[in-house]
Amino acid sequence: MAQVLTPPRPREGIARNDERWRPAPRGKAQALAAPLPRVTGIRFRNAAGEASDAANCCVTCPVNLGVGQGATASNGMELRFRIEGHRPGIEYDITRTRRNSLWERRAGVWSRLGSVAMGTNDDHHDDDECLRLTSGFIFAIDSPGWNGIAVPAADGTVFTSGLYTPAVTTHADAQDVVSRFSFAEWVIARSKGEGIPWTPLELPPLKDGTARKHVYWHNIVWLTRDGANRWVLGPRSEIAAGSLSDAVINAAPV
């Protein structure tokens, strides 16, 4: 009688009722799917004055990085993931969720104009991603804020965001405008030929050895007035690794 192979414990992200994990029929050996590639390195770049990696093939590349990227009311970052274990037929995607809020200060009083809960989809297209494996890497970029508004911006400028339902717009007499984001990002892969659906890839563990499911980063665009009453990016603007809690996102800026 042929040996019956016992399927391994399902990897995270694969449902237990997935046909690849069903017991082999009696008397028949079942071929097991090869393991998916792994992410073995993560690089987060946010240095002002630098540009995206020359190997980053995203549609919108090259982009400027750091606070006020391209002298606009936005900040820029780039994520690079090193992939090991690639084989023909494997496709990749970099996906992202967010939580965010928009605040303004008028006559010395802060008001929250909009808020979105963590887990909100922020992966609507691939123009900001390079998913073609290049020297073992794939990339994602982002520039949260208002990258279509140059700073300094004239008195009377208002800031509109379509990230809320309905869209929100600040007031022309606002004294400060603060947009805050916290993102979670990760890599998924699939193989149509092998019947493997989109599945999260294993990420490198944290420094203490704890398993990591996401890469967290955050962005703050703090717009304030200069001596000429123009809008400029304030010193509290930043784009950096790490998350912002729901309590921070939804508290009045201080």
Ordered per-residue pLDDT tens for the chain, 254 residues: 443 334 444 443 434 344 433 444 455 444 556 899 999 999 999 999 999 999 999 999 999 999 999 999 999 999 999 999 999 999 999 999 999 999 999 999 999 999 999 999 999 999 999 999 999 999 999 999 999 999 999 999 999 999 999 999 999 999 999 999 999 999 999 999 999 999 999 999 999 999 999 999 999 999 999 999 999 999 999 999 999 999 999 999 98
Q: How far is CA 27 from CA 1, 16, 156, 212, 249, in A?
A: 6, 23, 77, 40, 58
Say how far apart CA 155 and CA 49 lie, in whole Å: 27
Per-residue model confidence (pLDDT) at position 32? 56
Coil vs helix vs strand at 113: strand
Per-residue model confidence (pLDDT) at position 26? 53
pTM of the model: 0.86
